[in-house]
Amino acid sequence: MLWETVRLAARAIIRNKLRSFLTVLGVVIGVAAVIAMVTVGQGSSAQVSANVASLGTNVLVLRPGRQTMGPGPREDAAQFTLKDAEALSNLSVAAAVAPTTTTAATVVFGSANQSTQVTGSTSDYLAASNWQLAKGRNFSEAEERGGAPVCILGQTVRKSLFGAGDPVGQSIRVKSVSCTVIGLFAAKGAGSFGQDQDDIVLMPIRTVQKRIEGKDDVERITVSLKKSVTAERGTRDIQNLMRDRRRIGIGKDDDFSVTNMAEIASMLTSINSVLTGLLSSVAAVSLLVGGIGIMNIMLVSVTERTREIGIRLAVGATSVQVLTQFLVEAVVLSVLGGVIGIAVGLGLAFGASRFMAIPFAPEVWVIALAFCFSACIGVVFGFFPARRAAKLDPIDALRHQ
Amino acid sequence: MTPLIELRAVTRSYGKGEAEVRALDGVDLAIRAGEFVAIMGPSGSGKSTAMNIIGCLDRPSSGKFLFKGAELQALDNDQRALIRRNYLGFVFQGFNLLPRTTALENVELPLIYKGIPPARRLPVARSALAKVGLQGREGHDPAQLSGGQQQRVAIARALAGNPSVILADEPTGNLDSHRGHEIMQLLQALNRDEGITIVMVTHEEDIAAYANRLIVFTDGLITRDTGAKAAA
């Protein structure tokens, strides 16, 4: 009998395609929104985890000035020097030490130009920041020490200057400095904040300091720790050394910060999950509104089909059978909306993942939950109109115009 | 012999107190199996109310309603639905077919509610359509059929449930006189050949003439009853 009722319901739905479509639209949008939010959220969490791996979990970043989070001016504190970096590289915990300074500059090749970040550092930069070379070579010691005009390009810069061509061996102009391209980085993709990490020109730090910036500042020092060393121990050793070098008295606060990249990553992950939760609950509210939409249309449908209900009662349908028919109709509609919504949501999530260059991570439990929830919506919001249909008096119903 | 349908001192009133309207004012009526009864009377005479009570769509306010000797006046809605399903067939003035539903599916409807599986109900529905002369039209929508054909589908739907009684409420009211007479000949044949009892409300003398017995209602009472002619 139930199968019979499902068939009756399906027939009633097919008989009025436009109304059925409008009825389920709310549920489609709600389910699609929830699925898309959760799937994109999961994907970006996965992306953050991948970024942590690309940074290397055992990387510490030193900056002058006290520890601050987010934007805002850092208090004045003495800049680092290349001597600090040298001292750090003598620590037993350090595997690679990369003193770094960045400046915005325009790079030119022929008639093509690009505004980019020029990063000055040492050959250790590749190891400390987890970069791979696609082509060419790293800086030599002589080039580093002498501040030679050489550079390694990121893929974004290469694309705008050389298109698909090979940049290695070519000469480009960085600000006013003519500079030979000796290497090309492999693509790294978007960073944790969505920035383009491949928009980079790497030069020896002395070259940047002397020929481009004209000052001896080292903005930050990236230290990658040896595998066996914990972040805590590395941080402690580095802090001790730097306090010593910067002559900070006992009981005084550090005037520099040591940031553990793994910590930042875990913070990003938790921000991410809070955002996902928030957006998903907004989407869930739209699902509720979709349910009310179903109830609305079902109530109209009961009024509109009063005569049909009268006919069914006259040929011997019991009130339970009429109730079941309308309830099943509501459930079939909302489940249909759920299924379409799941498909649309996954499609949106797939498109968004592609666009944001994050992994597409559909979760079976989310899909199952959305499906069950849409069926429940059908039962809850279908019951009231169905009961109204079942309570109709057959004589009045048959007389209804 | 127990009458198939029996009303004893049946009243039916609507409203309360001053505004009370008595549609039936103590009606006694017995209809035996196999009769073809025409009910006539002006609007508001109580004939439709009587039909609704006989059709188990309504309950008397007082008095007794017996069907096959069993008292039914106290049944609840669902119990009356079961009586309609198993013993009664309805034919209405406005045909009352489900729109955008094929003739065959319309005829199947009472069988679906009886819980008969598709394999068994399809031949029943087809043969009911064949009996009213509509073989070959099974897949047509009501909108694709003429008024006369729609009423034939409605009669087939009433027949499909294998009823003891067909209740026809002005079955020719929406048809031209030619189609009307065709429908009456069909009902007459069903009464004669299948032994189905027919109770019919009509306004037209020449339609009432197809029946074997004429009952006239006036102001909630039976004012004329030709009585059963010798059963054929």
Q: Taking CB atoms and an 8 Å limit, are B84 and A1 in contact across chains?
A: no
Around B42, how many Cα atoms within 13 Å sit in the side-chain half-sphere?
3
State whether A87 and A205 are in the same domain: yes
Q: Taking CB atoms and an 8 Å limit, are B98 and A8 in contact across chains?
A: no
Task: Report chain A residues whose CB lies below 8 A from the CB of B58.
Answer: 395
Q: Note whether residue A259 is domain-resident.
A: no
Q: Note whether residue A22 is domain-resident.
A: yes
Strands (E) across chain B are located at: 5-14, 21-31, 36-40, 62-67, 70-71, 88-91, 165-169, 197-201, 213-218, 221-225
Å from B15 to nearest chain A CA? 16
Helix or strand run (H / E) with residue B57: none
Q: Note whether residue A356 is domain-resident.
A: yes
Q: Taking CB atoms and an 8 Å limit, are B110 and A394 in contact across chains?
A: no
CA A203 vs CA A123, A130, A209, B45: distances in Å = 9, 16, 10, 107
* Domain span holding position A223: 78-254
Å from B52 to nearest chain A CA? 8
State whether A250 and A290 are in the same domain: no
Q: Note whether residue A67 is domain-resident.
A: no
Å from A378 to nearest chain B CA? 23
State whether A94 and A243 are in the same domain: yes
pLDDT-flagged residues of chain A (< 50): none
Q: Note whether residue A61 is domain-resident.
A: no
Q: Tell which B residues from 81 to 100 touch A, by Cβ distance under 8 Å.
A: 81-82, 84-86, 88, 90, 92, 96-100
Å from B225 to nearest chain A CA? 26
Q: Note whether residue A192 is domain-resident.
A: yes
**pLDDT tens-digit map of B123-167:** 999 999 999 999 999 999 999 999 999 999 999 999 999 999 999
Last residue of a domain, one of A200, A219, A254: A254
State whether A324 and A300 are in the same domain: yes
**pLDDT tens-digit map of B174-198:** 999 999 999 999 999 999 999 999 9
Task: Report chain B residues whose CB lies below 8 A from the CB of A2.
Answer: none
Average pLDDT, chain B: 92
Q: Which chain B residue has its CA at the smallest distance from A325's CA?
A: B113
Q: Do residues B91 and B127 lie in contact, with contact meaning Cβ atoms separated by under 8 Å?
A: no
Last residue of a domain, one of A205, A221, A254: A254
State whether A100 and A189 are in the same domain: yes
Q: A–B: how many Cβ contacts below 8 A?
A: 61
Strands (E) across A164-301 are located at: 171-174, 177-185, 200-204, 220-225, 256-260
Q: Taking CB atoms and an 8 Å limit, are B110 and A15 in contact across chains?
A: no
State whether A99 and A222 are in the same domain: yes
Last residue of a domain, one of A205, A228, A254: A254
State whether A329 and A188 are in the same domain: no
State whether A241 and A94 are in the same domain: yes
Of residues B81, B92, B105, nearest to A316 (C-beta): B81
Pairing mode, if any, of strands A150-153 and A177-185?
A: parallel
Of residues A4, A15, A394, nearest to B112 (C-beta): A4
DSSP annotation of A208 reads I
Q: Taking CB atoms and an 8 Å limit, are A395 and B58 in contact across chains?
A: yes
pLDDT at position A56 is 62
B157 touches chain A (CB under 8 A): yes
Kindly state the tokens that stand for A34.
């929830």
State whether A164 and A122 are in the same domain: yes
Q: Taking CB atoms and an 8 Å limit, are A317 and B81 in contact across chains?
A: yes
State whether A239 and A100 are in the same domain: yes
DSSP string computed for A272-324: HHHHHHHHHHHHHHHHHHHHHHHHHHHHHHHHHTHHHHHHHHHTT--HHHHHH
Task: Report chain B residues whose CB lies below 8 A from the CB of A323.
Answer: none
pLDDT at position B232 is 39
Q: Which chain B residue has its CA at the smallest distance from A318's CA?
A: B78
pLDDT at position B5 is 94
pLDDT at position A67 is 60
Estimate the share of chain A in helix, then strand, then coil, as percent rounded to the nearest 5: 55, 20, 25
Q: Which chain A residue has its CA at the smallest distance from B84's CA?
A: A316
Would the CA dihedral through A151, A154, A158, A164 be positive or negative?
positive
Q: Tell which B residues from 97 to 116 touch A, by Cβ distance under 8 Å.
A: 97-101, 105, 109-110, 112-115
Å from A2 to nearest chain B CA? 10
Å from B229 to nearest chain A CA? 30
Q: Do residues B143 and B151 lie in contact, with contact meaning Cβ atoms separated by under 8 Å?
A: no
Radius of gyration of chain A (CA): 32
Domains and CATH numbers, chain B: 35-59+81-225 (3.40.50.300)
CA distance A203 to A185: 13
Q: Do residues A389 and A302 lie in contact, with contact meaning Cβ atoms separated by under 8 Å?
A: yes
Q: Taking CB atoms and an 8 Å limit, are B113 and A395 in contact across chains?
A: no
**Residue for token digits 């480009």?**
A172
Task: Report chain B residues whose CB lies below 8 A from the CB of A394.
Answer: 57
State whether A93 and A151 are in the same domain: yes
**pLDDT tens-digit map of B27-50:** 999 999 999 999 999 998 999 999
Q: Tell which B residues from 200 to 229 touch A, by Cβ distance under 8 Å.
A: none
How crowded is residue A10: how many other Cβ atoms within 10 Å of its Cβ? 14
Q: Note whether residue A364 is domain-resident.
A: yes
pLDDT at position A112 is 87
In chain A, the number of structural domains is 2
**Closest Cα partner for A40 from A320, A347, A307?**
A347
Task: Report chain B residues whose CB lies below 8 A from the CB of A395.
Answer: 52, 57-58
Kindly state the tokens that stand for B14.
């609507």
Q: Note whether residue A261 is domain-resident.
A: no
Q: Taking CB atoms and an 8 Å limit, are B84 and A315 in contact across chains?
A: yes
Q: Do residues A225 and A27 lie in contact, with contact meaning Cβ atoms separated by under 8 Å?
A: no
State whether A296 and A341 are in the same domain: yes
pLDDT at position B230 is 45
pLDDT at position A54 is 65
Task: Report chain B residues whose CB lies below 8 A from the CB of A11.
Answer: 101, 105
Complex ipTM: 0.92
**pLDDT tens-digit map of B55-87:** 999 999 999 999 999 999 999 999 999 999 999
Of residues B100, B109, B113, nearest to A15 (C-beta): B100
Q: Taking CB atoms and an 8 Å limit, are B81 and A311 in contact across chains?
A: no
Task: Report chain A residues whose CB lies below 8 A from the CB of B57.
Answer: 314, 394-395, 398
- Please check the confidence at residue B24 and state whether its pLDDT lies above 70: yes
Q: Which chain A residue has its CA at the smallest distance from B55's CA?
A: A314
